[in-house]
Amino acid sequence: MLDRLSDPLAFQSEALVLRAERQRLLASNIANADTPGYVARDMDFATALRQATGAQALPQSMATTHAGHLAPKTGAASEPGLLYASASQTNLDRNTVDMDRERANFADNAVKYEATLRFLNGSVSTMLNAIKGQ
Amino acid sequence: MSMLNIFSVAGSAVSAQSQRLNTVATNLANADTVAGPDGQSFKARQVLFQTQPMGDQGAAGVRVAQVLEDQTPGRRVHDPKHPAADADGYVTYANVNAVEEMVNMISASRSYQNNVEVMNTAKTLLLKTLQMGQGS
């Protein structure tokens, strides 16, 4: 019974967490716009969301056969899964942050974060209405 | 909450850029100083930025790793009547290039503004997240 209440929220909350993570990545890129040698990073959002919701299997991780073995995270949202942006214009200090692209991505991600929030709010108020019977 | 990390990331960038603005101000203020009795004129300073991991994976802030002094010799002007002139009548000024400093200043102020905007956006989004489920 409770599954029916929480299931519609699960997908949107996964998306919200991923949007927040991407926002943080883009903020890091903008912060490091003047750092020599910094390479801009971004995530493949569609793949990350499919992996987070279980629609796509995570890539095989290394086997841990000993208590001391580390289990690195896998998937598009984890550190090894993040992509590197290539420089659109060559730079003397080898920095690959393209401020126009990062600002556009940042605004786009902020709008989509807010959209996800509204979807969540919509499901919540729908359920509240159903509970209250109004 | 990963969004709260944005404030430390953008905050570190803002403080690094303000330190860069500070060195620009120092250089411009000393652009016309002459060498003292020891023959050493003011050396232009430059900040060196470095990426600083911020705990969580993927979050990368900035810090000023070093303040470097420009070691190129200062501008020498022939002015025998100047009180600071040496035996040959030359006065050594600071090695500050005012044009370069102005460009540096504009770049620093743009980066500063960008990071402030990032913080404002993150704040708006977080405040809206706080109100999740309350609006009907």
Q: What is the pLDDT of residues B96-118, one digit of tens each?
A: 999 999 999 999 999 999 999 99
Residue B125 has a pLDDT of 93
Q: What is the ipTM of this complex?
A: 0.83
Strand B90-92, strand B76-78: pairing: antiparallel
Q: In chain A, what residues touch B53 (CB-CB under 8 Å)? A: none
Under the banding of pLDDT at 50, 70 and 90, the label for residue B56 is low
Chains A & B: contacts with CB separation below 8 Å: 101
What single string gives the DSSP state of each residue in A30-97? HHTTT-TT---EE--HHHHHHHHTTSSPPPPPPP--STT------STTSGGG-EEPPPSS--TT----
Rounded CA-CA distance A76/B98 in Å is: 47
> Cβ separation of A32 and B111 shorter than 8 Å?
no
Give the tens place of pLDDT for each residue, A37-83: 999 989 889 988 888 888 887 777 777 888 888 777 777 777 777 88
And the tokens for A104? Answer: 């556009």
Residue B94 Cα, gap to closest chain A Cα (Å): 26
Compute the mean pLDDT over every residue in chain B, rounded to the nearest whole number. 89
| Per-residue confidence (pLDDT) for residue B74, from 0 to 100 | 87
Using CA coordinates, name the residue in chain A closest to B130. Answer: A117
Residues of A in contact with B59 (CB under 8 A): 24-25, 27-28
Residues of B in Cβ contact (< 8 Å) with A31: 9-10, 12-13, 60-62, 115, 118
Neighbours of A59 (CB within 10 A): 12
Judge whether A85 is closer than 8 Å to chain B, CB to CB: no
Tell me which residues of chain B have a C-beta less than 8 Å from any C-beta of chain A.
1-3, 5-6, 9-10, 12-13, 17, 20, 48-51, 54, 56-62, 107-108, 111, 114-115, 118, 121-122, 124-125, 128-129, 132-133, 135-136
Reduce the DSSP state of residue B84 to 3 states and report it.
coil
* Centroid of chain to Cα B134: 43
Is B125's CB within 8 Å of A30's CB? no
Neighbours of B111 (CB within 10 A): 24
Question: CA triplet A46, A51, A52: central angle to 5 degrees?
Answer: 95
Are B50 and A35 an interchain contact pair (Cβ–Cβ within 8 Å)? yes
Contact criterion met (CB below 8 Å) for B74 and B92: yes
